[in-house]
Amino acid sequence: MTQTAPDAQPDTQSRLDLFIDRMVSQRACLDFAIAETAAQRGPIFELGLGNGRTYHHLKTHVTGRDIYVFERAVASHPDSTPDDHQLILGDVRETLPAALDRFGATASLIHADLGGHNREKNDAFARLISPLVEPLLGKGGLMVSSDRMYFETLEELPLPPGAVPGRCFVYRR
Binding residues for ligand SAM (CB under 6 A): 48-54, 70-73, 91-93, 113-114
| Closest CB 8 distance from ligand SAM, rounded Å | 21
CB nearer to ligand SAM: pick between 96 and 137: 96
Give the separation between CA 137 and CA 116, rounded to whole angstroms. Answer: 24
**What count of Cα atoms within 13 Å lies in the side-chain half-sphere of residue 166?**
12
* Residue 112 CB, nearest approach to ligand SAM (Å): 9
Which CB sits closer to ligand SAM, 125 or 151?
125
Least Å distance, CB 116 to ligand SAM, is: 7
Query: Least distance from C-beta 122 to ligand SAM, angstroms?
Result: 10
Query: Least distance to ligand SAM from the beta carbon of 82, Å?
Result: 12
Pick from 65, 82, 70: nearest CA to 129: 70
Closer of 125 and 139 to ligand SAM (Cβ): 125
Answer for the pair 41, 65: CB distance below 8 angstroms, yes or no: yes
Query: In this complex, which beta carbon is closest to ligand SAM, that of residue 54 or of residue 108?
Result: 54
Angle at 72 (CA atoms; ends 84, 141), nearest 5 degrees? 75
Nearest by Cα to 98 from 78, 120, 70, 121: 70
Nearer to ligand SAM, 106 or 145 (CB): 145
Taking CA atoms, 76 is separated from 6, 54, 73, in Å, by: 28, 11, 9
